[in-house]
Amino acid sequence: MRVRTPLLAAAIVAAALPSACGGGDDLEGGDLAWVRDPKVFREPDLPRDRVLVGTVRNDSLRRMKVVAADVRAVDADGKALRGNATFVKGYIHALYPPTRPPPGGLPESELERLGKEVRLDPGGTAPLSIAWRVPRGAEGPVRIDYGAGFLPIPGR
Amino acid sequence: MRWLTAPLVLLVLAIIVPASAFGHAERWSYFPNHKAGKVPKYKKSGPSLVVCKPDSRKLIRQISTSSKKSKAARRKSLALLPRCKYRHIQAAVNAAKNGTRILILPGTYKEEPSRAVANDDGDCTGDEYQAEEPATKSYKFQRDCPNSQNLIAITGDDDDPDRRCDDKCNLQIEGTGARPSDVKVVGGGYGLRPGAKLNVFRADRADGIYFRNFLVQYSDFNNIYVLETNGFRVEDVVSRWSREYGVLSFTSDNGLYNRVKAYGAGDSGIYPGSGPEGHCKRYGIEVSHSESFGNTIGWSGTAGNGVYTHDSKFHHNSAGITMDSFASGHPGMPQDCSKWERNRIYSNNADLFNSKRDAYCQNTPNEERDPRKVCPTFQVPVGTGILTGGGNGNIFKKNWIYDNWRRGTMLFWVPAEIRGTDPTGQSAKPSTYDTSHENKYVGNRMGIRPDGRRAPNGVDFWWDEGGRGNCWSKNKGIRSGGAFTSDPLKLFPCPGGSPDRTGSSAKFAELIPCSTWDPQTNPDPVGCNWFTRPSKPR
């Protein structure tokens, strides 16, 4: 027998924009594009946080490297909101304890495994998850800045 | 199978991941042939060496005579005193031959000669000591320079290539006091503290090793570390205050943790990781009548396979139990086939990720830390009883799971690609959706103490709704008619269980941001609620 759980799964708070996949959006510029409509989620107990989950594609003709730390949700003034991004599509864990990195720092393979960076051949794709926190009384972000360009945020 | 509504193309991961173990770089490690080993039995006779301290006589005389057991321990210890020839346990290990019992009289053992050995012993540098991975130490290094990384090292394999024990096999290292705390083995502490060692005890290819009746503390990584060992037993041992792990076994088989008490570990108190490859045909390691509390995690095991844990207690940790396929470098992936029966998993709400603790752990160098203050080295959803993150064929039967304020249990998928390829060839080839399947939750009591008092979990069963054959039957909760709580509401009964499908994208959106946790740079990731202790459920 089961009863209704007091906790509900995270709610989808915004649907994807059909325009999100194509070019021409003035909030999209650069070589990365959403493969399909990403989704934005919100945890009930984190009302100011949003988590966007999608897949990006390298639409350029050259190999790209994108660093997760450079991927930020930014507001209309171009200011980055507090947040984090990762190129993984499920929960993972670091091999090395965070306070005990190997000599010389994490190897490239571990940085990629952890979703801290990604290398994409032309046409290559990768999962991308971005979380941001909207400051009290502020508007949400208007786009995703990944350093070398922008991605639109669906539902805006 | 597809996880999101839109198919996700895999991240290209033609990555050979570093060959490492459980969080620090380790040489490539291999499972022993389980048929060639067995759990060691207690030896009451046979060759023995006696270790003591100058104050052992005084301490022995202080042993209570109030019980038959303590009286016998006192008498035995006094009788052994004249035979004492060693002041340090390592010295006795060095003198031991196969089958020797090393009897340690009451006292505090700091192993000063071992502490004086440099952590990168100059005698053991050179290409011949390189392991397969840069920055790791080969077995030969451990054999030739046993106290570079270890306070007490038992390395049993000689120069032959078989990775089996030749000497220092079947050692029994035993405190002779009336209780474990009568013999204290004390590491040098954490980080750069003089004398700090990664491991207090290292049993490396030390088949048949038996640790019994002592207390061990203050390792920079593991208080007891058992590696590539066929047959081991840890019994009546108290492990406390280790920077990472209390008692850890890795690529070992035929093991028994019996009456182990573990607390104060930055990761987990008990860690049977890269467990035996029984694939549901046998359990190669048993954890029995043990208790683990006050750690970040009570019991954990990446690739914690084939472990039978029963009649034990995991409580007052941040999370009680985790088994997973999260990380690379663990032979035996993906995790499978462990069994949990008649355990109590309760009150795992330790608030170790709060801002005050974060600040202390961030701002205090390891060597200056109070080793009794746990600094988490692994992220967990505070308030969780049992977390299975990428695991197959596990059985959870007749456990008492209560007062875990977030969730009694969690079960979710982990993408296989993140594991990379196992360079030792001892793991299944990664296949994206190769977890979490065929897990069974049967006959558990949820949200109620054994004495009948109500102690609800936040939610009894949480599942990402993915994987085939996962099932829940005969579990009882505290709601009307014995109902339990679950997310999702619909669970699938045994046998049969869930159809083959992928999980909920909304649930993955909860999990993914938590991956970005870093105690130094990102202790409270946006979008992740794991690190705030939930309020007590009503």
B491 pLDDT more than 60? yes
Q: Which of residues 67-96 of B touch A (CB under 8 A)?
A: none
Nearest chain A residue to B503, by CA: A90
CB-closest option in A46, A84, A92 to B414: A92
Give B483: exposed, middle or buried? Use CB within 10 Å, 0-12, 13-18, 19+. middle
Q: How far apart are CA A2 and CA B488, in angstroms?
A: 10
- Interchain pair B267, A97: CB under 8 A: yes
- Nearest CB among B328, B509, B512 relative to A113 is that of B328
- List the domain boundaries for chain B: 23-262, 267-538
Among the partner-chain residues B135, B484, B489, the one whose CB lies closest to the CB of A102 is: B135
B288, with CB counted inside 10 A (0-12, 13-18, 19+), is: middle
Q: B14 at the A interface (CB within 8 A)?
A: no
Contact residues for B528 (Cβ-Cβ < 8 A; gap 6+): A131, B510, B513, B514, B516, B517
Per-residue pLDDT for B223 more than 90? yes
Among A6, A7, A95, beta carbon nearest to B18? A95
Whether the pLDDT of residue B128 is over 80: the answer is: no
Domains of chain A in sequence order? 11-152 (2.60.40)
The amino acid sitting at B244 is E
DSSP strands (E only) in B467-516: 471-473, 484-487
Q: Mean pLDDT, consecutive 10-residue segments, chain A of 156 residues?
A: 37 37 51 94 95 96 96 96 94 78 81 94 97 94 95 83
Contact between chains at A97 and B522 (C-beta distance less than 8 A): no
Residues of B in contact with A110 (CB under 8 A): 17-18, 328
Is A97 in Cβ contact with B378 (below 8 Å)?
Answer: yes
The set of residues, in sequence order, having a beta carbon less than 8 Å from that of A88 and lying 6+ positions away, is: A114, A115, A127, A129, B11, B415, B418, B512, B515
| pTM of the predicted protein model | 0.92
Q: Which of B206, B188, B97 is nearest to B151 (CA)?
A: B188
Q: Which residues 51-90 of A have a C-beta within 8 angstroms of B?
A: 51, 53, 55, 68, 82-90
- Across the interface, do A90 and B526 touch by the CB < 8 Å criterion? no
| Cβ atoms < 10 Å from Cβ of A69 | 15
pLDDT number for residue A18: 33
- Please check whether residue A136 touches B, CB under 8 A: no
B23: tokens are: 């969080």
The candidate with the shortest Cα–Cα distance to B223, out of B81, B232, B214, A139, is B214
Mean pLDDT on B126-138 = 72
pLDDT for residue A96: 77
Question: What's the DSSP call for residue B79?
Answer: H
Tokens of residue B4, six digits: 């999101």
Please tell me the least confidently modeled range out of A151-155, B7-11, B449-453: B7-11
Q: Given an 8 Å threshold on Cβ–Cβ distance, is A41 in contact with B9?
A: no
Rg (CA), chain A: 17
The pair of three-digit structure tokens given for residue B65, joined into one six-digit string? 């005579």
- What are the tokens at B427? 């793991």
Q: Tens of pLDDT along B261-278?
A: 999 999 999 999 999 999
- DSSP string spanning A9-68? PPEEEEPPPGGGGSS--TT-BSSEEESS--EEEE-TT-TTEEEEEEEEEE-SSS-EEEEG
Q: How close does chain A come to B404, measured CA to CA in Å?
A: 14
Nearest CA in chain A to B419: A113
User: Lowest mean pLDDT: which of B16-20, B292-296, B457-461, B473-477?
Assistant: B16-20
| ipTM confidence | 0.86
Residues B113-123: tens digit of each pLDDT: 999 999 877 78
**Distance from the B188 Cα atom to the nearest Cα atom in chain A, whole angstroms:** 18
d(CA A52, CA B187): 46
Distance from the Cα of A24 to chain B's closest Cα (Å) equals 22
A94-108, B5-19, B180-194, B344-358: segment of lowest average pLDDT: B5-19
Tell me the average pLDDT of chain B. 93
**Cβ of A156 under 8 Å from any chain B Cβ?**
no
Distances (CA, A) of B99 to B85, B164, B173: 18, 15, 10
Contact A96 B458 (CB under 8 A): no
For residue A156, what pLDDT is reported? Answer: 64
User: Which residues does A134 contact at the CB level (< 8 Å), separation at least 6?
Assistant: A48, A49, A50, A81, A140, A141
Question: Tell me, what's the pLDDT at A17?
Answer: 32
Percent of the residues in chain B that have a pLDDT greater than 70, as a whole number: 94
Please judge whether B479 and A100 are an interchain contact, meaning their C-beta atoms are less than 8 angstroms apart: no
* Residue B137 in this model has a pLDDT that exceeds 60: yes
Name every chain B residue with its beta carbon within 8 A of the beta carbon of A113.
13, 15, 17, 328, 418, 420
- What's the N-to-C CA distance of chain A in angstroms? 42
List the Cα angle B199/B234/B98 in 5-degree steps: 85
Instruction: Count contacts between A and B (CB, < 8 Å).
Output: 218
Put simply, the answer to whether B483 touches A2 (Cβ < 8 Å) is yes
Could you tell me how many helices (H) and strands (E) chain B has, helices first? Answer: 7, 34
Are residues B418 and A90, on separate chains, in Cβ contact within 8 Å?
yes
Structure tokens given for B256 = 């028994």
| Least Cα separation, residue A138 to chain B (angstroms) | 16
B328-341: pLDDT as tens digits: 788 999 999 999 99
Question: Does the beta-carbon distance from A95 to B513 stay under 8 Å?
Answer: no
Q: Give the pLDDT confidence of B420-433 residue by residue, as tens digits.
A: 888 899 999 999 99
Q: Give the rounded percent of residues in chain B with a pLDDT score beyond 90.
A: 88
pLDDT at B134 (0 to 100): 60
**In the prediction, which pLDDT does B19 show?**
32
